Chain A
Amino acid sequence: MHGSLRAGLRPGRPLGAGIGLRMAHLAELASGSVTLPDGLWLEVHAENFMVAGGPRRAALLALAERHPISLHGVGLALAGTRMAPARHLKALRQLCDAVQPALLSDHLAWQLVGQPVGSWHVPDFLPFPRTAKALALIIGNVNRAQDALGRRLLIENPSHYGDVGGHAMAEHEFLAELALATGCGLLVDCNNIHVSAHNLGLDSGWLVDQLPAEAVGEIHVAGHRPDAMGQLLIDSHDAPVAAPVWALAARLLARTGPRPMLVERDAELPPLADLLAEAAQASALIACVHHGG
């Protein structure tokens, strides 16, 4: 599988820090009126651009001429018995061919619900018991997706809000097996690790230390907030990156060496300058590792 897939990165300069590009900033950036830091890359939710045409898709293609683009999917449903249909894979492949993304990723989760509630694509990342049967299912799905897309996927660890139980292996073991069997890489979301560790009563640092460093192809950092009861942390992406999440990212980078790191923000969007300041912080962390600091 490794040999038949693109490495997942364009040849040339390695990626450093990136920011999530949301619609509120798309027109501003596509116009070219804002000068972005040299080497900055942009990550978009692939599904927002998997359309036939129009100005939004055109703006992304224009940006792709100037900046490396990461396509971050939310719809492959790789951990489900009902993976995304062939037409979805075809549309994503067409977008990949047009954009030539530097990175391509989706989540270790399922979303497509069948009976008894009808056809429902749950716009969230649903948990599952990490069993041998689940691993075999997901290996098949990831292989099918990578074959259809002609590219290596990075698979993101999801946030957990409770233990569904029935696990035969820890998440890091599951991800390592998945990467080994399919050649996929890992997108490690340090905010998800922080949120999950809080919600499940685990040690976030220990979780980071168990990840297979060689498989890590991208790191996400993001903000979170407590729920209304003050019991759970919610992976809300509506706040600046918290200090413990930066610390987890630094801890992971120390094991992996330099990796592309994304500042992810989906709600309560601040001015672009604020996001770029967080990206500069990510760049400094990566540089610190790069120079052995």
Chain B
Amino acid sequence: MAVEGLSSPARFEAWFARLLAGDAVPLAPGLARAVAVHANNAMAAATAALASNFPVLLALMGEAAFADLAQRHARRCPPADPRLCLYGRGLDETLVQALPAGDWPWLPDMARLEQAVVGALFAADPPRRPRRLDPARCWPLAPATRWVWSAAPIASLWQAHQPGAAWPDEFPAAGELALISRRDGQCLITALPAAALPLLEALKRRTPLAQLPADGLPHLPAIAAAGALVPAVGDG
């Protein structure tokens, strides 16, 4: 029988894990089929999760190319957490390894953006009680807030691929700073100029309002309107 000498659960698990990884050969044909079903189920669940979590990347790459990428990633970085709704960290690095050098440089950035969207979607809710703003105190970022800088117009690309979105006549020629935030239960992507980055980083460092970089302040209303800051009295 297949598990002779494997009466210890730990030894059985180690052996079965080698079967799943293709590093050992089942001792019975019937068991080989069973292992194949489990390996296929595991791969199907992981790749389906990636397709669900990275819909714009899927649309940009096409189903066949994305399926290849997803299988490659599932082998390189298999899920370590049963919460597959969060699965996909490192997909940008898998893409960099898989892509011919220099081709489609915006795709890894889109993977980073969609990973940030996943994080934003499931981040903690901001405090309900509005904060009274004080120049001597910081205005904290909301827990869902993230940003990704890309040399490509990544925010515009993401927005163009949302259900019902109009396709723009042309995309911006410059790179974009994509602000990811959550407002009214929806993830928002706001394109900001690169000049807003020092302001976002200062907010992340919990810099007092009076000490925020002056040249970034014109972007503060857009950041607040996107729900990227905790609610404040008089905000919005």
A97 vs chain B, min Cβ distance (A): 16
Contact of A47 among B31, B38, B82 (CB under 8 A): B82
Distance from A149 Cβ to chain B, minimum over Cβ atoms (Å): 15
Q: Is A115 part of the contact surface with B, judged by Cβ < 8 Å?
A: yes
Q: Across the interface, do B185 and A58 meet the contact criterion of CB distance under 8 Å?
A: yes
Interface residues of A in 74-107 (CB under 8 A from B): 74-75, 80-82, 84, 88
Which chain B residues border A118 with CB–CB below 8 Å? 78
Task: Pull 9 A–B residue pairs with CB atoms less than 8 Å apart, ordered by A.
Answer: A50-B83, A54-B122, A115-B17, A117-B17, A120-B80, A131-B9, A160-B34, A165-B4, A166-B6
Asked whether B97 is an interface residue with its Cβ less than 8 Å from the other chain, the reply is no
Q: Categorize the interface residue count of chain A.
A: 35 or more
Main secondary structure of the interface of A (DSSP, over half): loop
Contacts of B122 in A (CB 8 A): 51-54, 56-57
- State the CA gap A126–B144 with chains docked (Å): 35
A45 to chain B, nearest CB (A): 9
Q: A56 to B83: give the CA distance in the assembly, Å.
A: 13
A52 and B143 within 8 A (CB)? yes
- In the assembled complex, the CB of B174 is this many whole angstroms from the nearest CB of chain A, namely 31
The answer to whether B82 and A232 have CB atoms under 8 Å apart is no
Q: Which of B8-32 contact A (CB under 8 A)?
A: 8-10, 12-14, 16-18, 20-21, 23, 28, 30-32
Q: Which positions 150-179 of chain A face chain B at CB distance < 8 Å?
A: 160-166
Chain A residue nearest to B5 in the complex (CB): A166
Q: Smallest CB-CB separation from A127: which chain B residue? A: B34
User: How many of chain B's residues have a CB under 8 angstroms from any CB in A?
Assistant: 51
Looking at the complex, which one of B1, B13, B33, B41 makes contact with A123 (CB distance below 8 Å)?
B41
Q: How far is the CA of A81 from the CA of B6 in the complex (A)?
A: 14
Q: Which of A73, A111, A121, A129 contacts B6 (CB 8 A)?
A: A129
Q: Is the CB of A123 within 8 A of B45?
A: yes
Q: Is A122's CB under 8 angstroms from B10's CB?
A: no
B161 smallest CB distance to A (angstroms): 19
| Leading 7 A-B pairs by shortest Cβ distance | A162-B34, A75-B82, A165-B1, A51-B122, A123-B45, A166-B3, A55-B185
User: Is residue A37 contacting chain B, with contact meaning CB distance below 8 A?
Assistant: no
B84 touches A123 (CB 8 A): yes
- Closest approach, in angstroms, between the C-beta of B76 and any C-beta of chain A? 10
